[in-house]
């Protein structure tokens, strides 16, 4: 796998970003994954400090989203970004966690209203039932005009009697998504504080072949195994997920199971904070806005300054930069008006 060179202003090698552990339950159609974001998560919060820290419930949700998006990216074989996005009608307007195939990740949130200290998911994003969670897979080699794949789920559930109730946890929303769009039974436990964002995923593997259905008794047995392991996972408390090292955590939960673990992904190969923004991309975005729009800002303020919502980097373009930009950019087609 090739990796884009790390720019000096984004050098994250001095701080360990986090770790990702994959494992299977020997002989059973169940797999698991555990992620702990440490340096990566602390850097994401620090990058935000310049423009004001997020309220605590938003920090927690964004941490859980970052852990969940890392698990979901590591769970698929896909050459592109996985973007987990929550949009709503509460004080939190938008929250985004984006993970590249090499586990480089970034996140951001837009808070537009007052957030209560203990606000739950539905109080942040789903006050009038309009909250949505979208998972986008954006291929790195996307052709012009090709749309990225997107799956969307609401943040409310309907019970058997047709009554609607808001979901209170991100894990519940994502379990629902996995079942609905991937037909995969999944158990997720997520937690985040200001130092660690972590997640545990237990998933039932699709039965291989698929054509020949197993005998009824076999299916029952396989169901039984998944249910037992998922129930064990669900006993994990947030403070244990955040506070215990991986060895202790897996031993405590699954000491009676036959676990086969893979080499953990850490350091250069593990999850870490990195932003994909650059002066070139910001320039392209400005060209997309149009010369008149950009010139009017320069006339008013002397230059255009654009800040990256993910990493806090600021890019300034004065009148000369802008002239050069539009001269060079006049040949560009399909310039995107957004920075994402």
In the complex, minimum distance from the CB of residue 137 to Zn ion, in angstroms, rounded to a whole number: 21
**According to the binding rule CB under 5 A, does residue 310 interact with Zn ion?**
yes
**According to the binding rule CB under 5 A, does residue 249 interact with Zn ion?**
no
Size of the site for Zn ion (CB under 5 A): 6
**According to the binding rule CB under 5 A, does residue 306 interact with Zn ion?**
no
Is the CB of residue 109 less than 8 Å from the CB of residue 58?
yes
Query: C-alpha dihedral over 236, 152, 104, 9, to 10 degrees?
Result: -120
DSSP string, 118-152: T--HHHHH-TTS--EEEEEEEETTPPTTPPPEEEE
Quick one: which segment of 30-38, 209-217, 258-266, 306-314 binds Zn ion (CB under 5 A)? Answer: 306-314
In the complex, minimum distance from the CB of residue 319 to Zn ion, in angstroms, rounded to a whole number: 24
Q: Between 127 and 339, name the residue whose CB sits nearer to Zn ion.
A: 339
39-55 residues labelled b (16+ CB within 10 A) or e (exposed): bbbbbbbebbeeeeebb
Strand partners, 187: 202
**According to the binding rule CB under 5 A, does residue 315 interact with Zn ion?**
no
In the complex, minimum distance from the CB of residue 107 to Zn ion, in angstroms, rounded to a whole number: 11
**According to the binding rule CB under 5 A, does residue 311 interact with Zn ion?**
yes
DSSP state letter for 79? S
With CB under 5 A as the contact rule, the residue among 121, 275, 282, 294 that binds Zn ion is 275
In the complex, minimum distance from the CB of residue 311 to Zn ion, in angstroms, rounded to a whole number: 3
**According to the binding rule CB under 5 A, does residue 277 interact with Zn ion?**
yes
In the complex, minimum distance from the CB of residue 104 to Zn ion, in angstroms, rounded to a whole number: 12
321-330, long-range: CB < 8 A, 24+ apart: 322/286, 322/294, 322/295, 322/298, 325/283, 325/286, 325/287, 325/294, 326/287, 326/291, 326/294, 329/283, 329/284, 329/287
Quick one: which segment of 38-46, 72-80, 267-275, 297-305 binds Zn ion (CB under 5 A)? Answer: 267-275
With CB under 5 A as the contact rule, the residue among 68, 72, 178, 308 that binds Zn ion is 308
Interacting residue ranges for Zn ion, rule: CB under 5 A: 275, 277, 308, 310-311, 313
């Amino acid at each position: 796998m090739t990796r884009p060179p790390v720019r000096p202003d984004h050098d994250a090698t001095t701080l360990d970003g986090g770790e990702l552990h994959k494992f299977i339950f020997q002989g059973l159609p169940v797999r698991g994954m555990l992620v702990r974001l440490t340096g990566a998560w602390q850097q994401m919060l620090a990058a935000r400090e310049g423009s004001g820290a997020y309220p605590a419930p938003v920090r927690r949700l964004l941490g859980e989203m970052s852990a969940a998006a890392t698990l979901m990216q590591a769970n698929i074989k896909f050459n592109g970004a996985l973007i987990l996005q929550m949009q709503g009608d509460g004080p939190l307007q938008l929250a985004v966690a984006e993970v590249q195939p090499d586990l480089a990740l970034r996140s951001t949130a837009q808070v537009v209203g007052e957030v209560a200290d203990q606000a739950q998911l539905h109080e942040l994003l789903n006050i009038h039932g309009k909250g949505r969670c979208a998972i986008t897979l954006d291929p790195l080699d996307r052709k012009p005009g090709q749309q990225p794949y997107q799956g969307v789920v609401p943040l409310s559930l309907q019970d058997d009697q047709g009554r609607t109730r808001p979901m209170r946890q991100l894990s519940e929303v994502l379990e629902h998504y996995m079942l609905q769009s991937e037909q995969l039974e999944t158990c997720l436990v997520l937690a985040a504080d200001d130092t660690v964002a972590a997640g545990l995923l237990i998933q039932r593997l699709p039965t291989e072949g698929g054509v020949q259905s197993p005998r009824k008794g076999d299916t029952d047995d396989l169901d039984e195994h998944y249910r037992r392991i998922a129930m064990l996972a669900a006993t994990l408390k947030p403070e244990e997920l955040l506070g215990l090292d991986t060895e202790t955590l897996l031993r405590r939960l699954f000491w009676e199971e036959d676990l086969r673990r893979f080499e953990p992904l850490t350091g250069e190969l593990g999850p870490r904070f990195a932003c994909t923004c650059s002066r070139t991309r910001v320039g392209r975005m400005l060209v997309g806005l149009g010369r008149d729009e950009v010139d009017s800002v320069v006339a008013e303020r002397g230059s255009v300054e654009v800040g990256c919502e993910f990493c806090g980097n600021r890019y300034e373009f004065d009148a000369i930069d802008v002239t050069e930009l539009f001269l060079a950019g006049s040949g560009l087609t399909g310039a995107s008006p957004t920075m994402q």
